Amino acid sequence: MNGASQLASNFYSKAGSQKLQTIMRKYLLSILSLLFFAITYSQKIIGFSEANAAKQTDWEKQFDAQLKASNQDEWMKFLTSHPHHVGSPQDKANAEYIANLFKQWGYQTEIETYYVLFPTPKTRQMELLGANPFKAKLQEPTLSADKTSGQKAEQLPTYNAYSADGDVTAELVFVNRGVPEDYEELEKMGVDVKGKIVIAKYGGSWRGIKPKVAAEHGAVGCIIYSDPADDGYGQGDDYPNGSWRPKDGAQRGSVMDLPVAPGDPLTPGTPSLKDAKRLELKDAYTLMKIPVMPISYSDALPLLQSLKGAVAPAAWRGGLPITYHVGPSTDKIHFKLAFNWDIKPLYNVIAKLPGSELPDEWVIRGNHHDGWVNGAEDPISGMVAEMDEARAIGELYKKGFRPKRTLVFCAWDGEEPALLGSTEWVEHHAEELKQKAVAYINTDGNERGFLYAGGSHTLEPFFNEITNAVKDPQTGVTVNERSYAGTLVNGDVATRKKTLDDKTFKLEPLGSGSDFTPFLQHLGIATLNIGYGGEGTGGQYHSIYDSYDYFARFGDPGLVYGVTLSQTAGRTMLRLANADVLPFDFNSFYKTINAYVTEVKTLLDNSRAETEMQNKLIKEKIYDLGNDPTKKLKTPLAKEEVPFLNFSSVENALVRLKAASDTFQKLYSGATSLSADKQKQLNTILYNAESKLVRTEGLPKRSWYKHQVYAPGYYTGYGVKTLPAIREGIEQRNWKEVQENIEIIAKTIDSYTQNINAGIAILK
């Protein structure tokens, strides 16, 4: 109504006489009423006939009215009241609590149970030997300002799940973030980690990459600490005064080899049902090979101070009041870890509302319910938003709302250790999901701030409509407009220039780090991952302080963004459930993959230019001459020249894809007039499109990951690599593999194009 009132007030100010005003006011009201009706009810929604769009808009308004921050707050209080990690009493209690609520709201609900390997610590010891001995505390203290921080008996201690058992004593080396490039730097400095324990800073990669790369280089142990520059006092006041990690805070987390395969390491690719065939522990290839331990910076400080050797490169230095050296230390570190290698039950809650017209087309919504400790932000803030959506839809159902397609609401267990619950469920129901799953909508932690979303780019225009329909609670503009403004205000110059005047909400490609991975990257189901954040950020990730007390003060006070998330994800569910024709857009996919192909070609060219330059510098002895002779740095070895590769098959496939997607999208607007039968055929083609991007053989070195366009990086962990087989082949200088995968991608694109052509045949 804001726009209309303003229009009226402008009009009044221009019209002169009282009489004219009276006449005009009379007519104006009628006109305005009509206008209002027209604006409200003629709103177009992709995939809906005009009549159905009007009905849908009305239901969505009723849906919004049902959402209640106070409900979300009440559920959050219960769900975070005790530590609720896999295998804990509260984990089971939470699953039952959620299941009971879903049942109350009218859903066909069941708890599906799996049995997974979930190690917990038996022994944790770390000490610095030598002249200045020090024993690490390895404890997060109770804070009076944080009510649940004292639940010591129930808390999982600080540890890295799936670390190896071990008892190692060795010198220490500082490896920065612990990614491959850091070891190249160390090699230049003449520092070898073979037989040593490494200490790495959190950040710069997913944590599991750090011990994996350390082990590849021969290290016998890995310590990961939270540097205060990254999420402590270097970012802001520490907890409980501010939101940042205090000196004894440490980050728990998994170090399983997630980029190779998530899920139970004893049942890769198959569901870990009670009687499943399991690998022996020694054969479980996604377990970490060396002992790994997360520590706080107060525990890290004496270890870092024990390091000798060269001063760390400028970019490696953190926020502690010391000179960072790379080591090795002369004093040794002793470090002992032993775990209970137990099988624990997982409780996935699965709640269905069957579709009235298309019950075998499933729109799936998920968030995990397990936490590392009390887990308020991660994951309960997203879980309660999902619950509120389900409840609101239950209320709508009472008023006559009937979704065409089946809605499936899931609350996953065991996400934190390795996306266990979602992966086992997807592996269990793979065949049914391949048939029925239309899309998967994921959320996880949620905070005050800006909308971010990633996912399948076929859904980008559809999701843009959602971002323009939901209002930001702090400013009253749409969440898209606020996100646009946030990027322009907070972005760097390049980002600002790119963003200015382009109000398309961009979907990020998805790597990993939450439960969308098995849906998108194992099965090829179109996926969205949604959340708000950027203004409620702090440093309690995976610590005992990610509590209700913390979240209510800093994360999302009043859970206003909890409601906004429900509006966003709920609307996404409702539209996917009720669309006459599913809102997938192939032009958007074409543009995206075309841009990725350009990127990998540029990557290859840049790699070639850099290699040429580097080799030239080596040949001309520039390193010998330019380095400080007192530092005795090693000259890097010359690398193999980068060949030119043949991209023509992909380029030709892209031409065909463009032609098909152009044609399809021109015809798409007529789809809502098709017969119900033809619509059903078309819908099947639409939601099967994403599956054309998976390949049974999977990616090189990791067959579980089957999607050819989106994958988590082999050496980034959560960070995405698009066109992973080509991109990582270039990064790893495996030219033969790159050329082979160029051909594979060309075939994949062609298979995608054939599916579009089948759609065109129906539309014509």
Residue ranges in contact with a second copy by CB under 8 A: 228, 233-238, 242, 244, 311, 317, 319-323, 449, 474-475, 477, 481-482, 484-490, 496, 500, 535, 613, 616-617, 621-630
In the complex with a second copy, which residue's Cβ is closer, 153 or 625? 625
* Amino acid letter for position 209: I
Q: How far is the CB of 500 from a second copy (least distance, A)?
A: 7
Q: How far is the CB of 493 from a second copy (least distance, A)?
A: 9
Residue (of 612, 615, 609) closest to 635 by Cα position: 615
In the complex with a second copy, which residue's Cβ is closer, 190 or 670? 190
In the complex with a second copy, which residue's Cβ is closer, 229 or 667? 229
Residue 710 makes CB contacts below 8 A (sequence gap 6+) with 509, 510, 511, 520, 521, 720, 722, 724
Residue (of 389, 374, 367, 227) closest to 295 by Cα position: 227
483 labelled catalytic: no
Among 415, 416, 424, 447, the active-site one is 415
Strand order across the beta sheet in which 332-340 lies: 134-135, 120-128, 332-340, 166-174, 197-201, 221-225, 292-295
What are the backbone angles phi and psi of residue 643, rounded to the nearest 5°?
-75, 165
Q: How far is the CB of 447 from a second copy (least distance, A)?
A: 12
Residue 437 makes CB contacts below 8 A (sequence gap 6+) with 362, 364, 519, 523, 525, 687
Q: Are β-strands 720-722 and 527-534 bridged in parallel, bridged antiparallel, or unpaired?
A: unpaired
In the complex with a second copy, which residue's Cβ is closer, 402 or 631? 631
In the complex with a second copy, which residue's Cβ is closer, 400 or 626? 626
Residue 412's SS3 state is strand
648 labelled catalytic: yes
In the complex with a second copy, which residue's Cβ is closer, 165 or 624? 624
Strand boundaries in 67-226, DSSP class E? 108-117, 120-128, 134-135, 160-161, 166-174, 197-201, 221-225
Residue (of 734, 733, 714, 710) closest to 722 by Cα position: 710
Q: How far is the CB of 539 from a second copy (least distance, A)?
A: 11
Q: How far is the CB of 14 from a second copy (least distance, A)?
A: 23
What are the backbone angles phi and psi of residue 505, rounded to the nearest 5°?
-75, 120
In the complex with a second copy, which residue's Cβ is closer, 2 or 675? 2
Token pair belonging to 222: 């890995």
Among 217, 429, 457, 707, the active-site one is 707
Report how far residue 176's alpha carbon sits from residue 190's, in angstroms, rounded to the nearest whole number: 15
Report how far residue 631's alpha carbon sits from residue 313's, in angstroms, rounded to the nearest whole number: 12
In the complex with a second copy, which residue's Cβ is closer, 65 or 322? 322
Neighbours of 718 (CB within 10 A): 19
Q: How far is CA 91 from the centre of its chain?
A: 22
Dihedral angle, C-alpha 257, 258, 261, 263, nearest 10 °: 110
Q: How far is the CB of 487 from a second copy (least distance, A)?
A: 8
Q: How far is the CB of 315 from a second copy (least distance, A)?
A: 12
In the complex with a second copy, which residue's Cβ is closer, 16 or 626? 626
In the complex with a second copy, which residue's Cβ is closer, 233 or 735? 233
Report how far residue 48's alpha carbon sits from residue 223's, in angstroms, rounded to the nearest whole number: 54
707 labelled catalytic: yes
Q: How far is the CB of 716 from a second copy (least distance, A)?
A: 21
Determine contact, residues 484/520, Cβ cutoff 8 Å: no
In the complex with a second copy, which residue's Cβ is closer, 622 or 674? 622
Is the peptide bond preceding residue 119 cis, with omega within 30 degrees of 0? no
Residue (of 575, 502, 563, 574) closest to 532 by Cα position: 563
In the complex with a second copy, which residue's Cβ is closer, 231 or 413? 231
Q: How far is the CB of 246 from a second copy (least distance, A)?
A: 12
Q: How far is the CB of 302 from a second copy (least distance, A)?
A: 15
Report how far residue 642's alpha carbon sits from residue 366's, in angstroms, rounded to the nearest whole number: 44
Q: Are β-strands 437-443 and 405-412 bridged in parallel, bridged antiparallel, or unpaired?
A: unpaired
Token pair belonging to 80: 């975070």
Is the peptide bond preceding residue 328 cis, with omega within 30 degrees of 0? yes
Q: How far is the CB of 241 from a second copy (least distance, A)?
A: 9
For the chain, the distance separating the N- and C-terminal CA atoms, rounded to the nearest angstrom, is 41
Q: How far is the CB of 227 from a second copy (least distance, A)?
A: 11
Q: Are β-strands 134-135 and 160-161 bridged in parallel, bridged antiparallel, or unpaired?
A: unpaired
Report how far residue 652's alpha carbon sits from residue 597's, in angstroms, rounded to the nearest whole number: 12
Residue 295 makes CB contacts below 8 A (sequence gap 6+) with 126, 136, 138, 158, 223, 224, 225, 226, 250
Among 5, 42, 648, 673, the active-site one is 648
Catalytic residues: 415, 648, 707
